[in-house]
Structure 1
Amino acid sequence: MTPVVGASRALRAQFFVLGVMFATWGVHVPTVKGHYGLGDQALAIAMLASGVGALMALAQAGRVVGRWGPRTVSAAMGVLCCASVACLLAWPHYAALLAVMLVFGITGSLFDVALNTEATEIERLAAKPLMSGFHGMFSLGGMAGASLGSAAPALGLSPQAHLLLATGIGAAVALLASRAMLPVPEKEAGETHPLSLPRGPLVLLGLLASMGLIAEGAMYDWSVLFMKDERASQPSTAALAYASFSGAMALGRFGGDWVRARMSGTRLMRASGMLAAAGMALALALPSPLAALLGFALVGLGLSNVVPVLFSAASQVPGVSPAHGIAAVSGVGYLGMMAGPPLIGLIAERASLATGLLVVVVFAVFMALSARRAMRGH
């Protein structure tokens, strides 16, 4: 087995761990709320602490990954990310939760940038598209983490026992897998740019990533409620909204590298945006719950390769290291992911949730129309 093949397998395991950690946190949001006796506002502030930590980390991620290399950063941040999730219920004080969430945001973001930087290096050495498949493992990890969390009570696991089990295995896998990752190239190690801020072509790439993540976050946060309130679906049917979207997204990512090998980035971004827009329009236009589920699946399929394509493009911007390019685009994208759900909620409160979700259609069309300019030279 060649070093590139070994590194590719190790990286897939790392992306899987990252997906499991985010899903494990998501599963335990109600548990955390009950453990600390929080209201919605206090819980939102705790989530904001994670976002603040992520933005703090992304501002320095290019320098950190460039200095220490993806292998070292992924090993350290992978273990610390798992440890922060393990500590979600460790203390009774709200201040401790805020500190844990801040660390989770910092370590999770640095872990993410390190993995995507390694992914671009493996793509370069393998001379073929691989990024979508790596992100597919993140999606698969999210599904696995959510499934384990749902099954934990039936298995007799307390919330803290489940956290320790999931994070213990995750930390061990992250640490072992990092040993097979590629060493950092010398040109990367010497870079000392102070901040990973978007400039030049990275501005538009970051804007498109932000729009893609707003649309993705809208599906995660609002699709089930849309089925329940706007389509009068039973809870069991409404729950399928999340499953149809995430399942289609995982499927699209695992097939995305095959598509990217046969289609230019411009054409793929254009097709992705139009497919996502058509899917959301279908879900909003027809009153049938089945049409909504089909529409959500098309949105997932359309958005599945947006972030992998944009990250690959960001890693190839002339004069910018892959780590800095990815961190810059990630930072703008993360801002969108944080701002998106409140934006849709505000529109929904003033008009309706269906009106709020029109944002997804508008942003998807903008991605399609901007594809040529954003992907110029890639």
Structure 2
Amino acid sequence: MPLSLDRPVWAVRLQFFVSGFLFATWGVHVPTVRAHYALDEQTLALTMLAAGVGALGGLAFAGRWVGRWGPQRVALLTGVVAALSLTLLLASHAWPLLLATMMVFGAAGSVYDVAMNAGGSALEHASGQRLMSRFHALFSFGGMAGAAFGSLLLRLQAEPALHLAATGTAALLALWWATRPTLPVTPPDAHAAADSRSFGARGRGVLWALGALAAIGLVAEGAMYDWSVLYMQRELGSAPALAALAYASFSVAMGLARLGGDWARARWPAHSLMTASALLAAAGMAVALLGRHPALALACFALVGLGLANVIPVLFAAASRLPGVPAANGIAAVSSMGYLGFMAGPPVIGFIAQHLSLTAGLATVVVFSLLLALAGARALRPQRA
């Protein structure tokens, strides 16, 4: 990698790390928010849905904003808004204000996600190297660090509001550094532009299929982020500090698998890797739900993390190779659709938990992983990752 790209690459890695840390902090404090506002599962699910509605609004403008102002400026602005929103989660006892805060958090987070992925795509193009799996590994490690930090503060019985304020402040400082380096501008691809006129309905269908697979995969991933901690507490009777490790177990396994993701994608066809990975996630989640023991659940959550780790990198690689579609545009489209699944899945699980149980709600992770294995094998068979 050229020396001039070293700092931009580390800057974008830090952006992914901050994103994971912020999501982990929210995940750790789902039980705190539930208790603070006296919410039942259905109302908590509606609160999560507010974030999904905000994300939908943000995604409508994300591509336009990133194209006009560049990924670094957009990442700075939306990252700051997301961090500040997180610090305000416990600022009142009024549920409508919580809904508004979650909508802002969802909108800012979705645009930030597109911006940092666009920056990662530009660096991958400029360096000529595969970097996306390792970028996403930093998101997972950020989640691990955020969950571990949250678990430590819960063990020390620190005030949740103090934890949120400290996380927000640290995120602001990190974002200031992570968005300062100038990223390389991807030159226009004249061949792709010419071919785009003949891309046609079939090509758009492939792009939609990849986006749908990303949404399916991120429904399962989002469920782990938002509900695994509460599952450990409510269904298995774990102490808060132990329950917080559910997020860390999942995230560290996902991060380690993503460090080797580029190596794996170079050696196995995309459809084979997707099928094996999704089946591992389904098996891990099924054993966790049937075993009903905290230690077994933590180990199985790690298997789910291993299984889901390379879903998004595989799909991004496939989207970047679609004829007639610039790589960054294909990745952005798949990322946007996937993010909708990431935000919409947890509220659906909340509704199931309200009417059945949280165990039944998390069983959807098994169902979606099996669906991902079946549909992914078919959609990705012509692709090479």
- Relative to the length of structure 1, the TM-score reads 0.81
**1:363 and 2:368 correspond:** yes
**1:308 and 2:313 correspond:** yes
**SS of the residue 1:99 aligns to:** helix
Q: Within 2, Cα distance between the matches of 1:154 and 1:351? A: 31
Unaligned runs of 5+ in 1: 192-197
Q: Within 1, Cα distance between the matches of 2:246 and 2:154? A: 23
CA deviation string 1:44-95 (max 9, x = no partner):
4333222111011112222221222212211222222222223334456544
Partner of 1:45: 46
Partner of 2:143: 142
**1:275 and 2:280 correspond:** yes
Match of 2:330 among 325, 332, 337: 325
More divergent stretch after superposition (221-230 vs 305-314):
221-230
Match of 1:296 among 301, 315, 324: 301
**SS of the residue 1:179 aligns to:** coil
Partner of 1:257: 262
CA deviation string 1:123-145 (max 9, x = no partner):
22333322121111111112222
More divergent stretch after superposition (103-112 vs 266-275):
266-275
Q: Within 2, Cα distance between the matches of 1:35 and 1:293? A: 26
Unaligned runs of 5+ in 2: 194-202
Partner of 1:112: 113
CA deviation string 1:113-161 (max 9, x = no partner):
1111111222223333221211111111122222333334676854443
Match of 2:219 among 211, 214, 221: 214
Partner of 1:180: 181
**SS of the residue 1:200 aligns to:** helix
Partner of 1:11: 12
Q: Is the 8 A contact 2:79 2:112 kept in 1?
A: yes
Q: Which amino acid aligns with 2:175?
A: A
Q: Is the 8 A contact 1:84 1:100 kept in 2?
A: yes
Q: Provide closer, same or farther for how the CA distance between residues 35 and 374 of structure 1 changes in structure 2, counting only shifts above 3 A.
A: same
Q: CA deviation at 1:258?
A: 2.5
Q: Within 1, Cα distance between the matches of 2:214 and 2:161? A: 35
Q: Is the 8 A contact 2:249 2:302 kept in 1?
A: yes
CA deviation string 1:310-369 (max 9, x = no partner):
233334434444554344323432333344345556666777766655543443233233
More divergent stretch after superposition (251-260 vs 331-340):
331-340
CA deviation string 1:219-240 (max 9, x = no partner):
345556766787x676587766
Q: Which amino acid aligns with 1:54?
A: A
Q: Within 2, Cα distance between the matches of 1:50 and 1:15? A: 19
Q: Within 1, Cα distance between the matches of 2:232 and 2:35? A: 26
Partner of 1:201: 206
Q: Provide closer, same or farther for how the CA distance between residues 31 and 348 of structure 1 changes in structure 2, counting only shifts above 3 A.
A: closer
Partner of 2:87: 86
Q: Is the 8 A contact 1:62 1:323 kept in 2?
A: no
Q: Is the 8 A contact 1:279 1:295 kept in 2?
A: yes
Q: Provide closer, same or farther for how the CA distance between residues 292 and 329 of structure 1 changes in structure 2, counting only shifts above 3 A.
A: same
Number of residue pairs the alignment of both structures matches: 369
Partner of 2:197: none
Q: CA deviation at 1:103?
A: 1.7
Q: Provide closer, same or farther for how the CA distance between residues 72 and 322 of structure 1 changes in structure 2, counting only shifts above 3 A.
A: farther
Q: Within 1, Cα distance between the matches of 2:48 and 2:142? A: 21
- Relative to the length of structure 2, the TM-score reads 0.80
Q: Within 2, Cα distance between the matches of 1:35 and 1:280? A: 29
Q: Within 1, Cα distance between the matches of 2:15 and 2:100? A: 24
Q: CA deviation at 1:43?
A: 4.2
Identity of aligned residues (%): 54
Q: Provide closer, same or farther for how the CA distance between residues 261 and 129 of structure 1 changes in structure 2, counting only shifts above 3 A.
A: farther
